[in-house]
């Protein structure tokens, strides 16, 4: 059951859900690209990097066909600064990349956050650090959720776990980005990007809806005053106040928490996992249930804001929590903060692109919480 703390769902999200065509086999990256088009992305800027290349490839066809902007930039640095420019001028702008490319965007992302611009960045995560490999990873959780670039800022972070959500979450990302004037990530990985599965992904798109905003630097037109988009405030008191505004925005965004719970009601141990890990974890949880062991799954869909309140409440009544990630333990820190010592929080992780079979997870989960 997907729990949404804020109703109603965003307008663009409704748009991508209707009309729902018949299911067809769709690749994750294709769904992500078409989801961006359906979400009303006006501009896409990107640079090739595996494993997300289908995203710019598909958008290079659709965006010009629909009279929108597609541009292959000279680098990820240029890509994110193009996103900055388009967003500053009031357009729905997006880029996609994979881990090393996202690292290159961190400076620009900090400027985007500082200037309070909405935009969407998709990270189809691969193994790291360094050049790593092109296999699935969740090693960029810290980078996406905790900031990544310089200064105190946050991004909305959404984590799909199947191809259908790869299609639907870009719309939510744009809506939340605009609602709070902050950048939003769709944080996914090499498996989800490359896998084919049945999903409802139409090839017809709603017309663009222009959203007038009073702060954009789009040319004055008939406006009586100029607009300037910037993040420079030399006076410490002024910058301090601006930073407080940002933090207040992030606190307001906490109401946008979304998560997915399975077999939680009578669970004695809650497995917490996001994205592709949550699918592996659900297989393990189901197998454990068949053995009579009362495991449940909580899958955060929003990694920022994080479902801390729900986890805190659960921590008070369960025997423990089991966090599984494709990294050395990143989200587990947030789970431990939420649990705040109310129950033990165990961690199991795999790095380098290794996906453990569900049987391995069953043994690990069971052993950690053996009576």
User: Applying CB under 8 A, which residues contact other proteins?
Assistant: 42-43, 45, 69, 71, 73-75, 77-79, 81-86, 88-91, 93, 107-108, 111, 115, 210, 212, 216-222, 226-232
C-alpha distances out from residue 314 to 3, 199, 268, 311, 319, Å: 14, 32, 10, 5, 10
Structure tokens, 291: 């053995």
Q: How far is the CB of 106 from other proteins (least distance, A)?
A: 11
The span from the CA of 42 to the CA of 290, in Å, is: 48
CB of 90 to other proteins, least distance (A): 5
Q: Are 347 and 138 in contact (CB under 8 A)?
A: no
Tell me whether residue 68 or residue 299 sits nearer to other proteins (CB atom).
68
Taking the least distance from each CB to other proteins, the nearer of 16 and 41 is 41
Least gap, CB of 237 to other proteins (angstroms): 18
Extract the runs of DSSP E, i.e. beta strands, from 7-131. Answer: 24-27, 43-46, 69-72, 93-97, 119-125
CB of 301 to other proteins, least distance (A): 30
Q: How far is the CB of 166 from other proteins (least distance, A)?
A: 25
Q: Are 172 and 98 in contact (CB under 8 A)?
A: no
Whole-angstrom distance, CA of residue 26 vs CA of residue 286: 26
Q: What angle, rounded to 10 degrees, do the helices at 331-339 and 308-315 form? A: 60
């Amino acid at each position: 059951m997907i729990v949404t703390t804020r109703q109603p769902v965003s307008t663009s999200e409704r748009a991508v859900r209707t009309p729902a065509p018949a299911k067809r086999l769709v690749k994750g990256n294709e769904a992500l690209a078409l989801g961006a088009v359906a979400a009303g992305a006006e501009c896409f800027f990107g640079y090739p990097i595996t494993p997300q290349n289908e995203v710019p490839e598909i958008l290079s066809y659709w965006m010009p066909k629909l009279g929108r902007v597609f541009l292959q930039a000279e680098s990820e640095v240029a890509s994110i600064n193009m996103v900055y420019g388009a967003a500053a001028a009031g357009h729905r702008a997006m880029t996609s990349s994979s881990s090393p490319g996202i690292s290159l965007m961190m400076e620009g992302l900090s400027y985007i956050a500082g200037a309070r611009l909405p935009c969407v960045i998709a990270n189809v995560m691969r193994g790291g650090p360094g050049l790593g490999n092109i296999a699935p990873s969740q090693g960029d959780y810290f980078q996406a959720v905790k900031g990544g670039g310089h200064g105190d800022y946050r991004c909305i972070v959404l984590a799909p776990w199947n191809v259908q959500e790869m299609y639907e979450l870009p719309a939510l990302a744009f809506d939340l980005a605009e609602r709070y004037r902050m950048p939003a990530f769709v944080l996914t990985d090499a498996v989800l990007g490359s896998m084919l599965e049945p999903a409802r992904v139409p090839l017809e798109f709603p017309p663009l809806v222009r959203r007038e905003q009073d702060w954009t630097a789009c040319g004055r037109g008939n406006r009586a005053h100029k607009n300037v988009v910037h993040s420079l405030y030399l006076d410490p008191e002024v910058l301090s106040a601006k930073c407080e505004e940002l933090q207040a925005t992030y606190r307001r965004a906490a109401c946008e928490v979304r998560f997915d719970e399975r077999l939680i009601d009578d669970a004695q141990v809650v497995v917490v996992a996001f994205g592709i890990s949550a699918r592996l974890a659900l297989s393990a949880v189901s197998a454990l249930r068949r053995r009579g062991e009362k495991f449940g799954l909580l899958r955060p869909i929003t990694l920022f804001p994080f479902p801390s309140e729900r986890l805190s409440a659960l921590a008070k009544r369960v025997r423990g929590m089991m966090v599984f990630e494709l990294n050395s333990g990143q989200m587990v820190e947030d789970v431990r903060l939420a649990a705040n010592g109310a129950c033990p929080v165990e961690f199991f992780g795999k790095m380098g692109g290794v996906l453990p079979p569900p049987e391995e997870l069953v043994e690990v989960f069971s052993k950690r919480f053996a009576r």
